[in-house]
Amino acid sequence: MRAQPFVSLDDIRTASTRIAGRVSQTPMVHSAALEEQAGVAVYLKLEHHQTTGSFKLRGATNALLSLSPTERARGVVAASTGNHGRALAYAAQAEGALATICMSRLVPENKVLEIRRLGAEVRIVGTSQDEAQTEVDRLVAEKGMIMVPPFDHPAVIAGQGTLGLDILEQVPEAETVLVPLSGGGLAAGVAAAIKGLKPKTRIIGLTMERGAAMKASLDAGRPVLVEELPSLADSLGGGIGLDNALTLAMCRDLLDDVILLSEEEIAVGMRHAYAVEREIVEGAGAVGIAALLSGRVTSGGPIVTILSGRNVDMILHRRIINGTASLVPEGTA
Ligand SMILES: *Cc1c(COP(=O)(O)O)cnc(C)c1O
């Protein structure tokens, strides 16, 4: 692995060539309803239609294909709130490698089952991403497995950045891009790609009020721990790692703003996605729509918003659509 602090546009172009044919090319559609709301053209990047249901297949595939055959044979391991684990399991199986996925007990059951179905071994450890990570470190030290982290890794960031290349290819006139933000691999990669090609484009990170580790870390100027709280945007949960090497610095340098969304706003975003755009998205995938509907995106258009994932428990989804769900998962309000 190179020691360079940043992932470059060249790295992202290399990743794009490497993963071509192994990930889907997802559609970009115009939203008349959101254009009316925002007063500027709004496009939805339907990345929740990506194979495995989220953009995470881009980073996982690029990381796996960057390994030597001997490294691949040792097996890959990761801690994941779900979508990264799913993506790594899929990517590993596609290349004939074994994946072991460690996750906390807060991860929804549907995600656990689907990862097992993809041929990976799942280990459930503790109640936080950090505890799951401790198990990963043990498997790396004791069994020699190769860790593929969910965001703070150059090949993962470069893989997620390929989404930025696709966005500018589909909407070259984009002025503002709305990116769901958790550990920052997606935002760092997309921002590096888009700012590398078109520096004046504004990149805005979107996350939930409940436990926004990257926002707290940007404010503090160093990685900080936040209490993990259940959220409708469960894919945005988890810390950024106290030893964060890449994504905090990249988000600090490349993001123009970070907007925090309430649980109510995220629910409204999911409802709009379904009822108006006819799309099933998980909470994390709806934060861009939520920010537009709440009127808090003030920068100019055309605006592209990334619908990042669709892996939501369908019973919860139905309750949100019907307006009968308590907005915070049970037992935590
Ligand atoms: C992982 C994930 C995010 C956040 O990506 P980061 O690289 O951790 O910032 C957003 N949406 C979905 C659906 C995800 O799975």
The CA-atom distances, in angstroms, between 36 and each of 79, 201, 293 are: 41, 22, 10
Query: Closest Cα partner for 107 from 140, 134, 81, 142?
Result: 81
Q: Return the residue whose CA atom lies nearest to atom 1 of ligand 1.
A: 235
Q: d(Cα 286, Cα 102) in Å, to the nearest integer?
A: 26
The dihedral sign for the CA sequence 325, 87, 206, 260: positive
Candidate of 26, 52, 56, 160 to mutate for ligand 1, largest count of ligand atoms within 8 Å of Cβ: 56
The residue behind tokens 């997620």 is 160
What does each of the 333 residues of the chain score in pLDDT, given as a tens digit? 444 458 999 999 999 999 999 999 999 999 999 999 999 999 999 999 999 999 999 999 999 999 999 999 999 999 886 899 999 999 999 999 999 999 888 877 877 888 899 999 999 999 877 788 899 999 999 999 999 999 999 999 999 999 999 999 999 999 999 999 999 999 999 999 999 999 999 999 999 998 899 999 999 999 999 988 889 998 998 889 899 999 999 999 999 999 999 999 999 999 999 999 999 999 999 999 999 999 999 989 899 999 999 999 899 999 999 987 665 554 443
Total-model pTM:
0.93
Domains of the chain: residue spans and CATH: 9-53+155-322 (3.40.50.1100), 56-147 (3.40.50.1100)
| Any atom of ligand 1 within 6 Å of the Cβ of 60 | no
How far does the centroid of ligand 1 lie from the alpha carbon of residue 107, in Å? 14
| Any atom of ligand 1 within 6 Å of the Cβ of 155 | no
Q: What are the tokens at 191?
A: 């921002």
Q: Which residues are the active-site residues?
A: 56, 308
User: Which residues contact residue 59 at a Cβ distance below 8 angstroms, ignoring those fewer than 6 apart?
Assistant: 84, 87, 150, 151, 153, 155, 156, 157, 158, 159, 160, 185, 189
Q: What are the tokens at 305?
A: 């918003």
